[in-house]
Amino acid sequence: MDIKKLKILFILSLVISILIAVAAFIAGKQLSRSYYWLGLWAFPFFLLTYHWHLRLKEADLRLHLKNTWGSPDDRQRDFEEIPFYFRMIPNNRSGETVLDDRTWSDLDMDLVFSRVDRTLSVPGEQILYSFLRRPLLNFQGLEERHRWIDLFLRDSALRENCRSILAKIGRKEGGALPELLWNDPTGKIPKAFLLILLPILLTGFGILLLFSHSWAWYGLAAVLLVNMIIHYRAKRTIGEYVASIRYLGRMISWARKLAGFEYAGLDESMNVLRSELKSVSKIARKGVYLVAPEWNNFLYDYVNIVYLIEVKAFSRIRKMIEVHRHELQHIFERLGFIDAMLSIASYRVGIRGYCEPRFTDAGPRLEFQSAGHPLVENSIPNSLSMNSSGALITGSNMSGKTTFLKTIGVNAVLAQTIFTCMAKTYQTCFFRVATLIGRKDNLIEGKSYYLDEIQALLRLLAPKTDSVADLCLLDELFRGTNSVERIAASVEILLYLGKRNGCTLASTHDLEITDLVGSGFMNFHFQEKIEEEGIAFNYKLMDGPSTTRNAIKLLSSVGYPSEIVEAAERRVRSLNPTD
């Protein structure tokens, strides 16, 4: 039923219910009080109005989800909470590698994540982030993701049903849920038998007072005092986790409906989830006793303190979480997995020119055609084919060297995480990706630009403990020091990395390096074109090393005095008479 018909039915049932209620009130007021009973006929129409309201709300939600399918989600993201799940998981799990913080920052992966992310729930958002931080090193895991993505692209009914459920779970309150599921809640709560005994004693002393046992006042006051102390001591602990527990209950309730759908060819992987949901259903029911602070009122707060309602509920839920921790973790991960796969499917619908990568075991290899950067609108595509130890990329300032390195890094990560590359074709081996692109002085720690750079570079030179190939992306090595030492150190670093299992791509302005590293490194360059209006770039990768410089030409193009420009050009010719 479409939204227009639902609105008509909603308005019609609401008008009828109001008319009946008003007519019964007027008739009862002016004719006879017995007519007031006619107002009961309004009750079924009020229920019908509520029914149409729910149907209309569901239809609006589904229409919104349908209209936003394939579109980026530009919401504000909290990158303090989003990595919670990633931080809970150990970094030494087999079959995957971890992008370190420097590489993540160099490749602008927060922005890449935001572009890919169309998730609707906390588990989905945090699982997708963890996927991007943990590239896989085998095809088995990628194949599973591929099958789910393909299912959601083909089955629109299943996709809309799943997204509707995930939207109802939402992202409100649950950001810290992984801390509850992977860490034990801090703070002490009294033993369960004491929480049961104290309300019983309270009731008992109250009954004794009814029979004129005045001494019962002392017992009643003592129990009330103890209950107040327990309540306010536990309130801080409960307050830290109450939002997460409420979200956990909502997640379990809706996950049961999500697990009830048919997943063609993938139902076997959902059977475990269905079984685990049955074992934790009580947690969802217990969570209703934990009330949000804004929902509190004086009467509830009084009863809550006297009978320790929240403290008992929290104690029982914490015990159930301890017993079913593994099941709850798996439910969080499976729910997040489904949401993440839907997000990737939506991302694919909204982009052009993507492909699924092909992986090979034939040594370090990197080959792609017409690759672009997902963050650059209308980016100029470039192709590359290399199976040697490395490649040098030369070219003038602003010609596109750094963007090209980032394009390679981002696509390598996306290939091993979401099985999607911004390229016409993409063939590679499994890599461990590490970069050294962005640098800056660290004034707080007192580090210079150069010291920060050499310390960051050291992590790429650590001894290898496995056979995984490295993909190292280096932008202008040692730019923070003098040219003689920069060239010498850069050459030795590149030769050292060239002997290892992997591919190293480095950009440089120092054309001398292309000769010193020898034939072990391929050479590519970007070039510019001098025009009357200034310097123009085509951002196309060319074979061989660069043969031009443009630093001084750029001074002229932005308006530097001709005296400086001409003198600088004469000095260059005197220092390099062969140019």
Residue 249's contacts (CB-CB under 8 Å, 6 or more residues apart) are 283, 284, 285, 286, 287, 288
What would the mean pLDDT of 231-253 be, rounded to a whole number?
A: 79
List, for residues 447-505, the tens digit of each pLDDT value: 567 787 888 888 888 888 788 899 999 998 887 777 888 889 889 999 998 888 889 99
List, for residues 511-530, the tens digit of each pLDDT value: 888 888 887 889 998 887 76
What ranges in 134-215 are assigned the alpha helix state H?
139-154, 156-169, 177-182, 192-210
What would the mean pLDDT of 244-273 be, rounded to a whole number?
A: 86
Label residue 503 exposed, middle or buried (CB < 10 Å: 0-12, 13-18, 19+). Answer: buried
Per-residue confidence band for 185, with pLDDT thresholds at 50, 70 and 90: low
- Considering 56-60, 134-138, 171-175, 482-486, the range whose residues carry the highest mean pLDDT is 134-138
Q: 402, 439 in Cβ contact below 8 A?
A: no
What would the mean pLDDT of 523-542 be, rounded to a whole number?
A: 78
Per-residue confidence band for 578, with pLDDT thresholds at 50, 70 and 90: low
If one compares 470 and 184, the residue with the highest pLDDT of the two is: 470
Residue of 319, 158, 302 whose CA lies nearest to 231: 302
Name the least confident of 234-238, 291-295, 513-517. 291-295
Residue of 18, 41, 20, 37 whose CA lies nearest to 28: 37
Per-residue confidence band for 312, with pLDDT thresholds at 50, 70 and 90: confident
pLDDT of 569 reads 76
If one compares 241 and 457, the residue with the highest pLDDT of the two is: 457
pLDDT of 33 reads 75
CA atoms within 13 A on the CB side of 31: 11
Task: Tell me: pLDDT of 293 over 60.
Answer: no
pLDDT of 392 reads 92
Name the least confident of 60-64, 221-225, 373-377. 221-225
Average pLDDT over the chain, rounded to an integer? 84
370: left (phi over 0), alpha (psi -120 to 50) or beta: left
Q: 250, 165 in Cβ contact below 8 A?
A: no
What would the mean pLDDT of 410-427 be, rounded to a whole number?
A: 96
Residue of 89, 122, 59 whose CA lies nearest to 251: 122
Name the least confident of 294-298, 347-351, 484-488, 540-544. 294-298
If one compares 98 and 176, the residue with the highest pLDDT of the two is: 98
What would the mean pLDDT of 31-57 be, rounded to a whole number?
A: 82
List, for residues 374-386, the tens digit of each pLDDT value: 999 888 999 999 8
Q: 222, 302 in Cβ contact below 8 A?
A: no
The tokens for 261 are 């759908």
What would the mean pLDDT of 160-169 be, rounded to a whole number?
A: 94
Label residue 295 exposed, middle or buried (CB < 10 Å: 0-12, 13-18, 19+). Answer: exposed
Task: Tell me: pLDDT of 294 over 50.
Answer: no
Per-residue confidence band for 78, with pLDDT thresholds at 50, 70 and 90: very high
If one compares 471 and 549, the residue with the highest pLDDT of the two is: 471
List, for residues 1-41, the tens digit of each pLDDT value: 678 888 888 888 888 888 888 888 888 878 777 777 777 88
Q: Please give the biggest Cα pair distance in the chain.
A: 115
Task: Tell me: pLDDT of 446 over 50.
Answer: no
